[in-house]
Amino acid sequence: MTKRYHFVQADVFTDRPFGGNQLAVFTDGRGLTAGEMQTLAREMNYSESTFVLPAEIPGAARRVRIFMPGRELPMAGHPTVGTTYVLASRGEIALTGEMTEATLQLGIGPMPVVIEAHEGKPQFVWMVHRAPEFGPVIEDREGVAQALGISTTDLHPDWPIQIVSTGAPFLYVPLGSLDAAGRSRAGSASLHDLLARLDVDGIYLFSTETVAQEAHLHARMFGVGIPEDPATGAAAGPMGAYAARYGVIGDGPALRFICEQGMEMGRPSQIHIEVRRSGAEISNIRIGGRVVIVGEGEIFWE
């Protein structure tokens, strides 16, 4: 008997089709094994695909499993934001007004989300991040620059190269200019070795020079299994924590700013980031953005 699995294709962290980060949401993953989910994610060949299942914990709207083409992830940003938007658009997360709070069950546990709506339709989705964990500062600035194909003079002199995580660890590399970001290169053997040695999910390089006037940071993400990602919500949360600790954006107790990404790939994205700071304590991190549904269809399974 042929099985049919419905999917929705969405572009996340953008307000226009064919920008942002692509996502396939399989709206009913019941009956699929983990191996079959992995096969379907490889067939879709996006950076991630998600599979919606009944929740197994009290209070969660749905359980969501997230797969890259090569492996399952316990959490990720654009799949969480995009899947939330798709579920709200389909009425599977009931909107209760202009602001709806809900919870998804991810691999790391409960994940709070907030849906902003207008006239009964979702407009914007926020995802809450865990408290940040600041890892080691990497002192080998020359080695990091070499792995990116740039010079140490391209690195920002005042801010550290450091690992930060809110569930997935990334290496944050501050650059002195937009030009340096454009000249950075993914895919080198030395970059792959650096990521493996540090055991991080990717390298998030950023500059305070931006392309879009409304943006505050320009970023690129080079990852494990993904040469470059157009919008990385899992990295944007720790980016907010890093920015708050080191005064990258400002010194106020509450920061709200926009990080642009994907420009070099022709898939411009904007990730909104919020964070609160009280002395050394950094909390209330959340990231958000818009989502555009661009298609839907069915996969057949014999």
Question: Does 139 participate in catalysis according to the annotation?
Answer: no
CB of 77 within 8 A of CB of 37?
Answer: no
Residues whose CB falls within 8 Å of the CB of residue 216, separated by 6 or more in sequence, listed in order: 208, 210, 249, 257, 258, 259
Catalytic residue among 36, 43, 48, 274: 48
Q: Which of 122, 121, 126, 160 is nearest to 140 (CA)?
A: 160
Residues 37, 10 contacting (CB under 8 angstroms)? no
The rounded distance, in Å, linking the Cα atoms of 66 and 61 is 16
What are the structure tokens assigned to 203, written together? 């390298």
Whether the CB-CB separation of 65 and 51 falls below 8 Å is answered with yes
Would you state the structure tokens that stand for residue 223, as one six-digit string? 């990852």
d(CA 221, CA 261): 8
Count CB-CB contacts under 10 A for residue 141: 14
> How many CB atoms are located within 10 Å of the residue 236 CB?
31
**Contact (CB, 8 A) for 51 and 24:** no
Phi and psi, residue 210, nearest 5°: -130, 165
Q: Which residues contact 230 (CB under 8 A, 6 or more apart)?
A: 20, 21, 261, 262, 265, 267, 268, 269
Residues with a known catalytic role: 48
